[in-house]
Structure 1
Amino acid sequence: MRSLGLAGKASAAVALAFAATLLMPTTPAAASDWDRSCYHIKAPYKGISEVIGGASKARSSCEDATISLQRHRWYGWQEVDWTPLYSGSPIAWWTCTGSGTYTYKTVVAVDSNLGIYESAERRITC
């Protein structure tokens, strides 16, 4: 097997760096409009017979997003409800049925999941 000389190694490194830039995801022109400070995310809380998670936009220039309420299961996080976040303060909720204690979190996903922001996790008993 033949080894590359110094010039060959440099050319290979440049080619790899160029290829990596082609594979990098693009970010929106106004990336600052989908940073975490754009969203107020509420940790899940217990209502009368449901678990509720919500979020809102800090300002109108913030990107639209999706809110999801997730609970932790033995196999990972399960999305139990979701709703679009256009304006106002929408909520995602899950009806407590049966009994049990689970860990829940509210997740805001922006720009096809390029930005994912999570609330604090909460243990809630139904």
Structure 2
Amino acid sequence: MGTLRFAGKSCVAVALASAATLLMPATPASAADWDRSCYSISAPYKGISEIIGKAGKTSSSCTDATISLQRHRWYGWQEVDWAPLESGSNMAWWTCTGSGTYTYKTVVGVDSNLAVYESAERRLTC
């Protein structure tokens, strides 16, 4: 019985070590890939009938990312639009319907959101 307990504990230890290896985040190609200065992020602003969040890459060596426009609701942040950020700059936008004032922010997610950079928040009315 003592041998079975030891074997069980060592199997659990091996399983936990394997799981920890699988759960470790991927490291970026270089430290500059996750550098906040690689991305220019604008606070959301109001167009004619839409809320717009813009972001861009400051260098072609920066990792591709996604832009997300989010608004704050009573239950937390809601992603209302997203767009890929592969070269240059791009925007995410939300058409204003109805009325109301919400807080918005632009978010850039790098490497499947392992690095997340946010703009300043803005309260905008539709």
Q: TM-score, normalised by structure 2?
A: 0.81
Contact kept? 1:35, 1:115, Cα under 8 Å: no
Q: CA deviation at 1:88?
A: 2.1
C-alpha deviation, 1:21, in angstroms = 6.7
Tell whether 2:117 aligns with 1:117.
yes
2:97 equivalent to 1:94: no
Distance 1:91 1:26 in 2: 27
Q: 1:108 Cα shift?
A: 0.2
Q: Indicate the residue corresponding to 1:37 in structure 2.
A: 37
Amino acid paired to 2:49? S
Read off the aligned partner of 2:63 and give its amino acid letter.
E
How far apart are 1:33 and its partner, in Å? 1.7
- Separation in 1 of the partners of 2:29 and 2:60? 16
Indicate the SS of the match to 1:63.
coil
The CA distance in 2 between the partners of 1:111 and 1:26, in whole Å, is 8
Q: Among the aligned pairs, what percent are the same residue?
A: 80
Whether the aligned pair in 1 keeps the contact of 2:104 and 2:124 (CA below 8 Å) is: yes
Pairwise CA RMSD of aligned residues?
Answer: 1.9
3-state SS of paired residue (1:82): strand
Using the alignment, how far apart are the partners of 1:100 and 1:24 within structure 2?
A: 42
Matches of 2:25 and 2:91 in 1, distance apart? 30
Asked if structure 1 preserves the Cα contact closer than 8 Å seen for 2:58 and 2:88, the reply is: no
Partner of 1:67: 67
Secondary structure, counterpart of 2:29 in structure 1: coil
Question: 1:11 matched to which residue of 2?
Answer: none
Uncovered stretches (5+) of structure 2, i.e. residues with no partner: 1-12
Report the count of equivalent residues. 112
